[in-house]
Structure 1
Amino acid sequence: MPLSFLEEGLKVRIQRVGGLEETKQFLEKLGFVSGADVEVISRTGGNVIVNIKGSRVAIGKEMANKIMV
């Protein structure tokens, strides 16, 4: 299931990251790698704010759709 579908407050583990190679590299630099735990903080205006590796990160819905949990 894509990260963008999760409700606020859920903590899950990333299974895989899809998309073009440069998209994967960008998300990897933010900490979105297979096996990483991520918690959805909020979903507002199409953006998803998550807590990953001790940092809060905001990503767009398109990016969140590429992260499978």
Structure 2
Amino acid sequence: MKALTILGAMIGLLIGLGMGLAARGGWPEAFWRGLAAAVAGGLLLRWWGGLWMQSWHQVLRAREEPEQKPDAETRTV
């Protein structure tokens, strides 16, 4: 989870710095945009990673449980 947060922050920082410099802003403006994008990217990737891990655990639990088949004797018509 920590690795995904750090990865999201790094990606956000690079995108924010790139966009700030592409807009021909100064380094301070680009740096602040990069910081804001790093926070947003870290939070988003942490949220997405949590959903991904939750889904992964559900799949693993579903594989461990035996498949339940209805008995012909207990069914009523």
Q: Under a length normalisation based on structure 2, what TM-score does the superposition of the two structures give? A: 0.21
Higher relative contact order (CA 8 A, sep 6+): 1
Q: Which has the higher strand share?
A: 1
Q: Which has the larger radius of gyration?
A: 2
So what's the TM-score if we normalise by structure 1?
A: 0.23
Greater fraction of residues in helix: 2
